[in-house]
Amino acid sequence: MEIMKEKPRRRSISELLDWRCLTECKSIIAGNENSYGEDNFLKDCDKEPETRRRKRSGTWPRTRSLNAPSPFHKFGPCGRIMKNSVTVMTIQDPASQRLTWYKPPISVLVIKKVRDTSVLPPFIQLVTWLIEEKQMAVFVEASVLDDPVLARDPRFIKIRDRLHTFRDGTDLQDRIDFIVCLGGDGTLLYASLLFQQSVPPIMAFHLGSLGFLTPFEFDNFQEQVTNVLEGHAALTLRSRLTCTITRKSEEGQPGESSTTLLVLNEVVVDRGPSPYLSNIDLFIEGKHVTSVQGDGLIVSTPTGSTAYAVAAGASMIHPSVPAIMITPICPHSLSFRPIVVPAGVELKISVSPDSRNTSWVSFDGRNRQELFHGDSLKVTTSVYPVPSICAADQITDWFDSLAECLHWNVRKRQKHLDELSDLAHSSSNDTLDSLDRDS
C-alpha cells in the first residue's frame, strides 16, 4: 500500500518575511550567510504568530523608505522645475514611525464592545491588571458601571469604585495618555469619534467579528501592553477627514458652519428614503468636476478603503498612502469609476439645483442628517490622525488583515502538470487534438 505523504503547509507572506528578517539578522551576528538552515526556518514558522510578532515588535530592519523617492528636478538638457517660495514639507518615512513617551503614561481609557458578554471576562482581567499591577488611572464609559452582568461579578465589584467615568469626548481631552480597545473595528471608530482633535495612541485587541483594524490577540496581553508602555511599538498614522456642513441661510446665502466632524473611515452622501436618484454636484478645489447620479457617493480615507468603499467596487489603499478616495454608489453610468485624489485637496459636495430630492449624509455610520438644496459639505484631510499601534509593522499587519479578514486572493491551487494523471502518462509530442481523437 502506498503511503500518502502529507503536503507541506503553505507559508504566508508574513511568515516568509519573518524568515528573511531572521536570516539576515543571524547571518550578520554569526558572520556566515549560510548559518541559518531550513530546519530552523520551519521551526520558527511553526511557532505561534504572537511569539513571532513579539520577536520582531516592529523592528524590521528596512533598507528602503515606504515613501516614493524624491523625483529628479531636471528634465533633459534645458527643462527643470521652477523654484518658488512655497514651503517644502518633509514627510517622515512611515516605516520609521515608532511610539515614544516623553513622560510615563498614567491614565488609560478602556473601550469594550457593547452588548457582548464574551468580552466581559477579558475586560475585567485587563482593568484589574492595569489598576493593581501598573497603578494606572483607568477610565471607562459610565454605562459600564451600570451593566447588570458586571454588577454581579465579585471580581468587578472589588475594582468598581476605583474606575473613572466621563461624560463625552470633551471631558477626555488632555486627560488620557493611552487607549485600549476590546472588540471589533467599531470600538476603534468610537475612539476616533470621542477625540475630535489629538488622539492618544490606540492598542486594539481582536475580540469582535471582523477585526481588520484590531491586530492584537488577547492571549498574553500583559507582555504586549508592557511592551507598548515601555515604548517598544511601531505606529500606523491613520489619516482622518475633516467634514464641515454649511447650511443655507434664510436669505439663500451660505450661512455659518453648523457641523464639523472628523471621520476615520468615510463620509457617505446618499438618497436616503427617496425613490429618486441622487443628483449631487462634486467640486474639487472649487472646480466643478462632475454630477453624481446614482444612489450616492462615498468619500473615504485609505483606512476606509477596505470598508464601505471596497464593497462598492473601490480599490484597497494602504493606510500610509496620503490620499482621498471618491467612490460612487451604484452610479447610473457604466463609465463612472472610483478615483483617488491627493490628500491635500478640498472637496465640496452639494445637492444639485436640478435634483428632485434632498440627500442624507452620515459620518462613519453615525450622526446621520439631511442635506437640503443650498447646503454644502466640505471634506479635506485632517491634521489629527489616529495613531494605531502595530502588532508587527505597517506592512505585515495590513497584509495579514487582508488575508485573514477579507480572504484576499484566496483560491484553490492550480494543479501541476505532473498531478494530472491524463497528461502525466502521455508523451511530450501529444497534443490536445490527438488526445481528443483517442478518446
The residues annotated as belonging to the active site are: 185
* Residues 220, 266: Cα–Cα separation, whole Å: 33
* Residues 316, 282: Cα–Cα separation, whole Å: 22
Task: Quickly list DSSP for 10-29.
Answer: PPPHHHHHHHHHHHHHHHHH
Structure-block grid coordinates of residue 427: 508523451
Residue with cell 515608532: 98
- What amino acid occupies position 39? D
* Residues 391, 397: Cα–Cα separation, whole Å: 7
Distance of CA 433 to the CA centre of its chain: 52
* Residues 262, 197: Cα–Cα separation, whole Å: 8
Task: Quickly list DSSP for 260-326.
Answer: EEEESSEEEEE-TT-SSPEEEEEEETTEEEEEEEESEEEEE-TGGGGTHHHHTTPPP--TTS-EEEE
